[in-house]
Chains A and B, each alone.
Chain A
Amino acid sequence: MKISLLRLWNITKVGLMAISRNKMRSLLTMLGIIIGVGCVITMVAVGTGASSSIQATINSLGTNFIMLFPGAATTGGARTFTDQSRITPEDADAIKSECPSVAYVSPGARTNAQIVAGELNWGTQVWGVGVEWPNIRAWNVADGDFFTDVDVRTSGRVCVLGATVAENLFPNGGAVGSSIRIKHLPFKVVGVLERKGGNMMGQDQDDQIIAPYTTVMKQLLGSPRISMIYLSARSGPEVKQAENEIDALLRQRHRIPPGQDSDFTMRSQEEIANTSEQTSKTLSILLGSAAAISLLVGGIGIMNIMLVSVTERTREIGIRLAIGAKGRHVLLQFLLEAIALSVVGGAIGVGLGLLAPYLVTRFAGMPTEVSTGSVAIAFGFAAAIGVFFGFYPARKASRLDPIDALRYE
């Protein structure tokens, strides 16, 4: 179009003036776009926030982390701990001595117990682990020490408290060196773990007690089986290899003929990350399409009001055509009005999209992260909708016959 910038500005001004004349109607028209853009940005912010907090949680599991569970692989990752576990501490020892790609191994035996310390008591879970567990989970004690190899060998009644447990049983501090009772047995507290926060399922990881696995198995559970084995590979690339080595070893130890399913499953940190990434991707697509539909509906709203506007202003269009406006001037005028509606709506939507995640974090406690990309895309999409849905009414206006338009009452 050979229209000078000056004239473009003149026509834009006319468009903006037309919007400001009908403030209430313009606002209502823009509502769809405002909500759409606001939704897109908020949803993406909530999604990004969730996925980066999941990522942080996964990283907090430890590096090159592998978990080994009893039972065959299940799709979807749903899994229950059963009493039919065939995994023993000896399996863990064998992995430690025979798999070269494995750096650290720790059995894991779990039980629930009511803990008593003086007059206070607290229900939590007790995990029996080996001395390499802090290396695997990259989780150190904040206060005191972790129990030692000797404690494991002698099934010593020592334990390390999670930060939440320590807080609830020893609100005034002084946990280390104190004595607590787990299932009526006295245990000495040797350390308190660093605070780690919630895990992927939102459970508080600090609400647990760590004790030697031998103690938990013999004195609390009375079972020769363990719930799982914590492992870590020597390096990231060696995770796969470690899994293969462990798989071969345990199949042999458990005498599983070739072709039959293993009676254990391994999940690496990477797999967990992939699963959660897929979940958050699906969520993003779902929310994104909901937001896209609201943008679409907003666009149709704009088209509707522009069609009404063209009919209402038929006479004005006639006057403009009569005094020398060309079809493209009229087209541009109405197109710019539609674009102005969607752009102004988009801008308000961006404002809403910046405010809403803040409120979500503030009042719902969910982590959010507004990404510049989502703001740009949402805003650009809104402007594009103005062009797309504004074109038909604008073309209709530009094709009016000046004689008929002037005669229109």
Chain B
Amino acid sequence: MAKDALVLEIRELVKTYHMGEVEVHALKGINLTVERGEFVAIMGPSGSGKSTLMNIVGCLDRPTSGSYRLDGIDVSRLDRDHRAEIRNAKIGFVFQGFNLLARTRATENVELPLLYSNQGLSTLDRARRAREALRRVGLAGREDHYPSQLSGGQQQRVAIARALVTEPAILLADEPTGNLDSRTSEEIIAIFQELNDSGKTIVLITHEPDIAAHAKRVVYVRDGVIWRDERIVQTRSHPGEPVDAGAEPVVAFPFTLAPVTEEVAR
């Protein structure tokens, strides 16, 4: 564990794709730091570069230039295998499509990252930690269910448990509520808030303002740069208390998110 409080430290991050002859500048110099215990929502319209940013933050991809330190480790120049190690130890992924292994029980899905970890846990330890993680997301008693036997919200909870089980430095959630109805979305976001309250660092990528509103800080990405970065004062009186589904988001949006006229990538 790194001693400093910065979990994410991104400096002048540039990512350029080469599509044949054409150069596509997806990220044009991003500076971003996230401290331990923060809950950051990254917002932006499609084509803004937020997916590219998320891939780099998630160590799935490498930047063209610039530096990226995750939990004190410079990960911007690591090779494939080392990035896999970092993903396993430092990052917990939650995807929009849940991405659970079908025909694999909930506990086995949650155990999966431990299977690849360097910790060398015994079968019993792995099972114990998987159950513990499932309990934390409120799925005690559903350990032996298969994904097909679980609702969308429950599947996403399994995915969150899987992200938690390695005790990563950050939880990286990519549109975690994109496939869920608004009620279930609120439940899932409440879990994130609880986890954040207990000290977890969370980076959430979304294009839904009312989901972003539950974070403590919102970073707007547009045209490959950070366009705005603001902190939000949460109205929740008690940490962990379910949020009133009808409540208006307290954050004012400086631009209209255009879901109708999809912005085409440059």
Q: Which residues of A contact B80 (CB under 8 A)?
A: 326-327
Question: Smallest CB–CB gap between B176 and chain A, Å?
Answer: 14
Please tell me which one of the listed residues A14, A319, A327 contacts residue B99 in the complex, with CB atoms under 8 A apart. A319
One of A14, A316, A323, A402 near B88 (C-beta < 8 A): A323
Within 8 A of A (CB), among B99-155: 99-101, 103, 112-113, 115-117, 120, 122
Cα–Cα distance between A327 and B79 once the two chains are bound (Å): 11
Contact with A along B141-172 (1 / 0, CB 8 A): 00000000000000000000010001000000
Given contacts A21-B103, A319-B101, A406-B99, contact A324 B55 (CB under 8 A): no
Taking CB as reference atom, which chain A residue is nearest B174? A406
5 cross-chain pairs, A with B, having the tightest CB-CB distances, nearest first: A324-B88, A326-B84, A323-B113, A324-B116, A325-B116
Partner of B116, one of A315, A326, A402, A406: A326
Q: Within 8 Å of chain B (Cβ to Cβ): is A403? A: yes
Nearest neighbor of A313 in chain B, beta-carbon distance: B101
Roughly how many angstroms separate A10 CA and B122 CA in the complex, as a whole number? 11
Interface residues of A (CB under 8 A from B): 4, 6-7, 10-11, 14, 21, 315-316, 318-329, 402-403, 406
Q: Whole-angstrom distance from the CB of A397 to the nearest CB of chain B? A: 14
For B103, the chain A residues whose CB sits under 8 A away are: 21
A323-B113, A324-B84, A403-B60 given; 7 more Cβ-contact pairs under 8 Å: A6-B122, A316-B101, A318-B99, A319-B100, A322-B87, A324-B87, A328-B81
Q: For A10, list chain B residues within 8 Å (CB).
A: 115
What chain B residues lie within 8 Å of A318 (beta carbons)? 99
- Give chain B nearest CB distance to A406 CB in angstroms: 7
Q: CA of A319 to CA of B100 in the docked complex: distance in angstroms?
A: 8
A4 to B, closest residue via Cβ: B120
**Interface residue B39 (Cβ < 8 Å from any Cβ of A):** no
Complex Cα gap A241–B25 (Å):
94
Q: Is B85 among interface residues, defined by CB-CB distance under 8 A?
A: yes
> Are the CB atoms of B93 and A322 closer together than 8 Å?
yes
Tell whether, in the assembled complex, residue B60 and residue A325 are in contact, meaning their CB atoms are under 8 Å apart. Answer: no
> Is the pair B61, A323 in contact by a Cβ cutoff of 8 Å?
no
B192 at interface by CB-CB < 8 Å? no
State whether A324 and B120 are in contact (beta carbons under 8 Å apart), knowing that A315-B99, A319-B99 are contacts in the complex.
no
Alpha-carbon gap, A168 to B61, bound state (A): 90
- Of the residues A324, A327, A406, contact of B95 by C-beta under 8 Å: A406
Size class of the contact patch on chain B: 20 to 34
Contacts of A322 in B (CB 8 A): 58, 60, 87, 93, 99
B81 x A323 contact (CB < 8 A): no
**Distance from A75 Cβ to chain B, minimum over Cβ atoms (Å):** 66
B155, chain A: closest CB distance, angstroms? 13
For residue B47, give the distance in angstroms from its CB to the closest CB of chain A. 16
How distant is B81 from chain A, measured CB to nearest CB, in Å?
5
A7 and B120 alpha carbons, distance in the complex (Å): 8
In B55-104, the 8 Å CB interface with A consists of: 55, 58, 60-61, 80-81, 84-85, 87-89, 93, 95, 99-101, 103
Query: Considering the chains assembled together, what is the distance between the CA atoms of A148 and B144 in angstroms?
Result: 92
CB distance from B250 to the nearest CB of A (A): 33
A-B contact pairs, 18 of them (CB 8 A): A4-B120, A6-B122, A7-B115, A10-B115, A11-B115, A319-B99, A319-B101, A322-B58, A323-B112, A323-B162, A324-B88, A324-B116, A325-B88, A326-B85, A326-B116, A328-B81, A403-B55, A403-B61
Q: Which residue of A lies closest to B55 (CB)?
A: A403
Chain A hits for B81, CB < 8 A: 326-328
| Distance between Cα atoms of A327 and B87 in the complex (Å) | 13
- Distance in Å from the Cβ of A198 to the closest Cβ of chain B? 59
A6-B120, A403-B60 are contacts. A325–B84 as well, Cβ < 8 Å?
yes
Q: Which of B24-70 contact A (CB under 8 A)?
A: 55, 58, 60-61
> Which of A4, A11, A316 has the largest number of chain B CB atoms within 10 A?
A316
In the assembly, what is the distance between CA of A326 and CA of B87, in Å? 10
Which B residues are in CB contact (< 8 Å) with A328?
Answer: 81
CB within 8 Å for A329 and B120 given contacts A21-B103, A316-B101, A402-B60: no
Question: Cα distance A195–B80 when bound, in Å?
Answer: 77
Are A320 and B120 in contact, with the CB atoms below 8 A? Answer: no
How far is it, in angstroms, between the C-alpha of A26 and the C-alpha of B32 when the chains are bound?
Answer: 50
Closest chain B CB from A278 CB (angstroms): 56
CB distance from A7 to the nearest CB of B (A): 7
